[in-house]
Amino acid sequence: MNFSKITEKAKKSGFYLKILNFGLNKMVPFNKPHGFKVVEIGDHHLKTLVPYRKSNFNHIKGIHACALATLSEFTTGFLLLAKLDPKKYRLIMQSLFMDYHYQAKMDAYGIFNISEKWLEEKIYMPLESIDKVVITCEVKIHDKEGNHLSTGNVNWQIKSWKKVKTKV
């Protein structure tokens, strides 16, 4: 599966969006039971869904806090991988901080936006002079009625593969 080509086509085609979501379930099997879906993708934004269903419930039949946190990680990581060349940059989640505002009792949507200027200022320019950067990506999750459920701040460490040292 050519991730880049399918992602690009999924921006304009519902058919390719379905193929993308099918492929993501294969590539990230941990997320498959949650039923996460990319519902909208653009050049600089991503909207994802965590469905209101039993496999995502907590003990009071709301969407579990961990499902919302995982959606935050997935949403930011996916868009960053779509924008950064994975052959050139290594991306690792360093930390995740969540604030919960409202009980999730229906489908929920995570939205993450970036810009070329943001990428340039936060990633590309700093990596010209330092080995790694840590960027904070904020995701707001709302239910389908617009209630603000959570805010996730995901810290991603980004490094050029040329600077990665691995033990043998």
Interacting residues of 32 by C-beta distance below 8 A, sequence separation 6+ = 25
Residues 6+ apart with CB under 8 A from 60: 103
Q: What is the mean pLDDT of residues 58-87?
A: 94
Is 90 exceeded by the pLDDT of residue 28? no
pLDDT exceeds 80 at position 85: yes
Averaged pLDDT of the chain: 93
Percent of the chain with pLDDT over 70: 98
Fold classified for 3-86+100-115+135-152: Thiol Ester Dehydrase; Chain A (3.10.129)
Tell me: pLDDT of 15 over 70.
yes
- Band of the pLDDT at 37, cuts 50, 70, 90? very high
Across the range 133-142, mean pLDDT stands at 97
Query: What pLDDT score does 1 carry?
Result: 61
H-assigned helices in the chain: 3-10, 14-27, 65-83, 116-119
